[in-house]
């Protein structure tokens, strides 16, 4: 076998492994296949010191098999951007929910997360028949829910929602960086890096900072 043939064989083997992995990520989607519209939900931004919490709800076609989708934290920023476009293109519908730092301070991060998730569901163009959630049960929602621990690594729909939520929030933080460059939001996305905390101590908070998150830091 020539080197070229060997390389081609390895490529095919790698692709087949990836197809198999994605097939395994559709376990819950297959389990609830009797439902027409299966919606995956996830959020990003519960931990940062600044900026909003963002949730996404995604309904994929039942035969959707988007290769290289994974928990958004396991993907590079470049890969997430690539997959974002594919997911948006393939989805039957997707909805985004955004709850800002002022409301987070007012009602706490857990309630703000639920609010963002409800917004995301309400922003879908079709009503889901079932929700696959990453670990939580969302209050005040009249749709059947399946909370899945580490759902963004186990369900294709949830993983797609996690990618869209992450890219949406990262883009927002990049925009905020242009307004408040001293906090370096472009690289930390609002999370409490050493440089971010030092900037907070030196110049104080911006209007984007969550007061309840930074009260012990400044």
**Rounded Cα distance, 119 and 11, in Å:** 42
Q: Strand (E) positions, the chain?
A: 38-44, 53-59, 93-99, 130-134, 144-148
Are 112 and 126 a contacting pair, CB within 8 Å? no
**Rounded Cα distance, 73 and 107, in Å:** 27
In the chain, the domains with their CATH numbers are 3-169 (3.30.420.10)
| pLDDT tens track, the chain, 218 positions | 788 888 888 889 999 999 999 999 999 999 999 999 999 999 999 999 999 999 999 999 999 999 999 989 899 999 999 999 999 999 999 999 999 999 999 999 999 999 999 999 999 999 999 999 999 999 999 999 999 999 988 999 999 999 999 999 999 999 999 999 999 999 999 999 999 999 999 999 999 999 999 998 87
Terminal Cα distance for the chain, rounded: 65
């Amino acid at each position: 076998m020539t080197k070229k043939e060997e390389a081609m064989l390895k490529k095919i083997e790698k692709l087949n492994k990836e197809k198999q992995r994605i097939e395994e990520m559709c376990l819950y989607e297959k389990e609830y296949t009797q439902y027409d519209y299966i919606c995956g939900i996830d959020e990003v931004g519960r931990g940062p010191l600044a900026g909003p919490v963002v949730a996404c709800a995604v309904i994929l076609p039942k035969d959707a098999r988007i290769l290289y989708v994974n928990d958004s934290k396991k993907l590079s920023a470049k890969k997430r951007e690539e997959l974002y476009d594919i997911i948006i293109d393939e989805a039957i519908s997707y909805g985004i929910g955004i709850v800002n730092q002022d409301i987070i301070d007012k009602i706490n991060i857990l309630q703000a997360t639920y609010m963002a998730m409800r917004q995301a569901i309400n922003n879908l163009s079709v009503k889901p028949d079932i929700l696959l959630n990453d670990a939580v049960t969302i209050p005040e929602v009249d749709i059947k829910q399946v909370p899945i621990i580490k759902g963004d690594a186990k369900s294709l729909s949830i993983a797609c929602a996690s990618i869209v939520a992450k890219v949406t929030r990262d883009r927002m933080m990049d925009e905020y960086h242009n307004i408040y460059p001293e906090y370096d939001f472009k690289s930390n996305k609002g999370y409490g890096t050493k440089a971010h905390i030092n900037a907070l101590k030196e110049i104080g908070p911006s209007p984007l900072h969550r007061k309840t998150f930074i009260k012990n830091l400044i």
